[in-house]
Amino acid sequence: MACPELRVGSGWESQFAINHLGHFVLVNLLVPAMPANGSRVVAVSSAGHFLSGVRWNDIHFRNGYDRWLAYGQAKTANALFAVQLASSGASRGISAFSVHPGSILTPLQRHFSTLEKHDLGWTTSNGDAVPGFKTPSQGAATTVWAATAPILADHSGAYLQDCNIADVAQTDDMSVGGVKPWATDPADARRLWAPSAEMTGVDAFGRR
């Protein structure tokens, strides 16, 4: 999360590569083994997607790195991946969802000092999570719900939070919740799939 600049693979920005491309490869390779009906894929996005849509002209931040924008782009990519997988996988009985698990103190924040976490409003002066943060178990709830809830059968592609389908965000305050339109836009989801397949060399649905 908001990592220092790191290049992986063919000079790819690491947060996009690890959070999106790695999962893109894994899921595409698993598609042939998925049951014909009832398979679900859950992509863990986050409210961090508020920070940035996909930077189509500079996905890998070759013109200057910003760790927060890179994180936001990666989380948007997670959500868009679920949107396109829901569309492409429908004929095979595959559903897909993206989720915001909530704010949780875990090793995800390992690149932040104790002082930085306090200054960002995540922790109290003694290092405990502030009210409103979830435990890891509470944070897992929406992911489990996405994978199992029968009520979601007709909502493939949705972005979920707090065991519910998120509304479109009406503010730029990510703490209020909701989902930004750029994270669920079908055209952007299709657009992202093509370079993802080109970069990784895999596409279970044959669009190369």
Q: How far apart are CA 152 and CA 22, in angstroms?
A: 26
The answer to whether the beta carbons of residues 54 and 76 sit under 8 Å apart is yes
Annotated catalytic residue 159: no
Q: How far apart are CA 17 and CA 9, in angstroms?
A: 8
Number of other CB atoms surrounding residue 62 within 10 Å: 10
Catalytic residue among 50, 61, 71, 159: 71
Q: How far apart are CA 45 and CA 195, in angstroms?
A: 19
Q: How far apart are CA 206 and CA 11, in angstroms?
A: 25
Q: Which residues are catalytic?
A: 71
